Amino acid sequence: MADGFRVDVRALTEAANGVEGTVEAVGKKKVSDVDCSKSAFGHDHLAGTVKDFCDRWQIGVEHLIKDTQEVADRLVRSADTYIKVDLSGQHRLDTILTGTGPDPAAE
C-alpha cells in the first residue's frame, strides 16, 4: 500500500529561480575575460595555450548554461503540473461535495 507523497511546489519554484539566477550570473561573465595579452605571459606559446584553453572552456560553459536552463525549465513545468493536478482534484472533490458534479457512485 502506498503511503503517498507530498510535493513542495514552492520549493520547486524556488529551485528553478535559483538555477535561473545562477545561469544569468554565469552568462554575464565570459571566460575570455580571464584571458590576458600575450605579454602578460611572457611566452607566446603559453599565451596561445591559455587562449585555446579559454576558448574551449567557453564552449563548455555555454553547454552547461544550456543544460542548466533545461533543468530550470523542467522544474517550472513540474511545479505547474503539480498545481494543475491539485486544482483539478480539488475541483472534482468540490463538485462531488456540493452535489453539482456527476454522481461518483454512477461511475
Q: What's the predicted TM-score (pTM) here?
A: 0.66
DSSP label of 29: S
Q: Is residue 40 part of a domain?
A: yes
Q: Given this model, what pLDDT does residue 104 score?
A: 64
Q: SS3 for 22? A: helix
pLDDT band of 101, cuts 50, 70, 90: low
Q: Is residue 10 part of a domain?
A: no
Short-list 79, 72, 77, CA closest to 16: 72
Q: Is residue 80 part of a domain?
A: yes
Q: Given this model, what pLDDT does residue 79 score?
A: 92
Q: Is residue 13 part of a domain?
A: no
Give the mean pLDDT of 80-99: 87
Which pLDDT tens digit goes with each residue over 12-64? Answer: 899 999 999 988 888 888 877 766 777 787 888 888 888 888 889 889 988 99
Q: Is residue 19 part of a domain?
A: no
Range of the domain at 68: 30-99
Q: Is residue 15 part of a domain?
A: no
Domain count, the chain: 1
Q: Is residue 1 part of a domain?
A: no
